[in-house]
Amino acid sequence: MARTNPFEFLQQVRTEVSKVTWPTRRETVVTTFMVLLMSFAAALFFLGVDWVLGMVVQLILGMRF
């Protein structure tokens, strides 16, 4: 594999970075909001599942709530 010198490497990096389509501020904000919303929804879902399974285990073992 051919080795490139650091200057050539940085030129290649700069060229590749210029080809990237960066998201707009609005896209970033909307995506961030959706990630936070879905994380919160998943947390509530797993909280509910954990609570229900805990109740079932307590009923099976004959313990009081």
Kindly state the tokens that stand for 31: 């995506």
pLDDT in tens, 23-39: 999 999 999 999 999 99
- DSSP letter at 62? T
Return the HEC string of the chain.
Answer: CCCCCHHHHHHHHHHHHHHCCCCCHHHHHHHHHHHHHHHHHHHHHHHHHHHHHHHHHHHHHCCCC
Contact between 41 and 49 (Cβ < 8 Å): no
pTM above 0.85, yes or no: no
Average pLDDT, the chain: 92
Kindly state the tokens that stand for 3: 């080795």
